[in-house]
Chain A
């Protein structure tokens, strides 16, 4: 499909395990965002990639969280030693150059993470 693709769509993991969440943005989109949304809450900014610039990691909640974007396309969000409070839906979004105010941001369907 032509949209933002995320995998897995659902993940149940045991506390203390590591998880990897993948985002495949729309082809040609240089800006990529990760957000976290806990039940009944708003979107919490995690990290923002724009082209070859250093990512804005200011939203990552702890050093257990990291993200990378290989070749300016696919991104992986890694959560190490998962905790129950990490349970949330993780949303990825992409757009053409992020600084351009006119570029629409498109969301994937999210990865629903449950830590038991």
Chain B
């Protein structure tokens, strides 16, 4: 079992729709959870971080964490073509080691 798992996609949504990206992790001791966005040929950039169960909202983005189910998700409301990218889920354990999932490719069609 991979430490951090994501569906590779591609996930295709029409412009204006909600995109839902999901991630599961194996280490129950994980403390911190991150979503990064990566455009082709570029380095990852941080979108959201979440540390406690529940929802965290920032603009059009909402991160959701359920530690009991070892599940973290990212919702993108009012999706725009510029949101088309690969979204990487990352999980940090208590030693500080940060592990990434394989990423989900999102395509937002005009």
**Which residues of B are found within 8 Å of A99, using beta-carbon distances?**
94-96
The answer to whether B71 has its CB under 8 Å from any CB of chain A is: no
Interface size class of A (residues with CB under 8 A): 20 to 34
Q: State how many residues of chain B have any CB contact under 8 Å with chain A.
A: 23
Provide the residues of chain A in CB contact with B92, threshold 8 Å: 98, 101
- The answer to whether B100 touches A35 (Cβ under 8 A) is yes
Binding-face segment, B11-19, B42-50, B58-66, B72-80: B42-50
Interface residues of A in 61-116 (CB under 8 A from B): 91, 93, 97-102, 104-105, 107-110
What B residues does A93 contact at CB under 8 A? 98
Residue of B nearest to A93 (CB): B98
Chain B residues positioned under 8 Å from A1 (CB to CB): none
Residue in B43, B97, B102 whose beta carbon sits within 8 Å of that of A41 in the complex:
B102
Is there contact, CB below 8 Å, between A45 and B99?
A: yes
Q: Please give, as numbers and ranges, the residues of chain B lying within 8 Å of A109 by CB-CB distance.
A: 43
Are the CB atoms of B96 and A48 closer together than 8 Å? yes
Using a CB–CB cutoff of 8 Å, the interface residues on chain B facing chain A are 6, 31-32, 34, 43-46, 49, 51, 88, 90, 92, 94-103
